[in-house]
Amino acid sequence: MDDSSNFTADNQTEISTEPENQVLSEEPCPIFPLLQKFHEYYGTYLHGYLSLAICIFGVLANVANIVVLTRRQMQTSATNIILSKIAIANLLTVIVCIPVYIHFYLQKLATYPPPATRSFVWIMLLWIQISTAIICHTASVWLTIQLALFRYMIISLPLHVPKIFTPRLAAKVAYGIFVFSVVLIVPNIFCYCIAEKSTDETINATLSDFTNDTEINTDFTNDTEINNITAENDFSITHNVLEVHVKTNGTFEIDNYYTVEESIILQNFPLLGNINYWIQAIFIRILPSILLTTLTILLVWEMQKASKRRMKLKSAGKRDSSHRGRH
């Protein structure tokens, strides 16, 4: 740390770095203390690394799927068309998360409530990642429903569906699902915004006796008290990624940070938040779960019926062959 300053024997200065509107940790749960400790430990030490590992594996697996399924000979099947689109949606979902997990979890600002960063570019990337991940995840869910519906139809109506549900139609429906997913995210975009937050911006200090230069060589944490400080030149104290700028006029300035919070539109029109909540609850969670469960049950039922029909045809064929053999 290369910080230029002077010390005198009769001045004291205290630097407070607690951000405004800091999210305080919740009180430990008295009923499940171990679960509360696991929650805190996982969020602090494990979540970022595990999520990053899952994202990297997801990138490799989905790239392999895309390489195989997008070959010309594989694109003649409507099923492969849908599977390739699912792989693309899943790839985009995990690939946009990698830089965000690295910056906001592995390189997070220890002093500020997450998500927080001193870089506007990074908070913009986070904003883009949130919207992109929701769009691609929604598309992946509904593409899975499209695949389940196609499989159910091909088993229940094997003579008619292949002529109707062609690979070209499957691709058009898939692109329509992506557009539908973008439309669903529009209310969420207006519910949140990028906000610049300030800490205790200036803290008065009494500086005097601009004489000997002395290097400050101390750890900087919350409510650190630096005694008897004077300065000939402006300098900075750095702790992790927190910058505290010491001015010769007797003030300390702590860098502002950026985060994502509720927008003014949402604050003035809380109904928008309810609309956004129910849109995501119904079209991203509840309805897809019901449809996938129903289609899975119907698919299993049709497969059992098809299996019984095959067994009847086989037994009828054996009886006919044995009858002809006797004559």
d(CA 117, CA 271): 30
**Token digits of residue 117:** 């960063």
Superfamily of domain 34-193+263-296: Rhodopsin 7-helix transmembrane proteins (1.20.1070.10)
| Distances, alpha carbon 192 to alpha carbons 133, 185, 269, in Å | 15, 12, 12
In this predicted model, which residue has the larger pLDDT, 113 or 280?
280
Record the tokens describing residue 133, joined without a space: 């991940």
Q: Average of pLDDT values for 285-299?
A: 94
Question: pTM to 2 decimals?
Answer: 0.71
Q: What are the extents of the domains in the chain?
A: 4-18+199-260, 34-193+263-296
Q: What pLDDT, in 10s, does the model give residues 100-139?
A: 888 888 776 655 666 778 788 888 999 899 999 999 999 9
Question: pLDDT tier at 323 (50, 70, 90 boundaries)?
Answer: low
Q: In angstroms, rounded to a whole number, what is the distance separating the alpha carbons of residues 237 and 40? A: 29
User: In the prediction, which pLDDT does 8 show?
Assistant: 32
Q: Hey, what are 208's tokens?
A: 């005097």
Q: DSSP alpha helices (H): ranges in the chain?
A: 33-41, 47-69, 78-95, 97-101, 120-156, 161-164, 167-191, 264-268, 270-280, 287-326
- 23-58 tens-digit pLDDT: 334 455 555 788 888 888 887 778 888 999 999 999
Given a cut of 60, is residue 14 above it in pLDDT?
Answer: no
The amino acid at 207: L
Q: Which residue has the higher pLDDT, 194 or 106?
A: 194
pLDDT winner (highest mean) among 106-120, 143-157, 186-200: 143-157
* Contact criterion met (CB below 8 Å) for 197 and 254: no
Q: What is the mean pLDDT of residues 188-206?
A: 66
End-to-end CA distance of the chain: 103
pLDDT at 246: 53
Mean pLDDT over 231-253 rounds to 47
Rounded to whole angstroms, the Cα distance separating 195 from 184 reads 24
Instruction: Determine contact, residues 171/164, Cβ cutoff 8 Å.
Output: no
| pLDDT over 90 percentage in the chain | 38
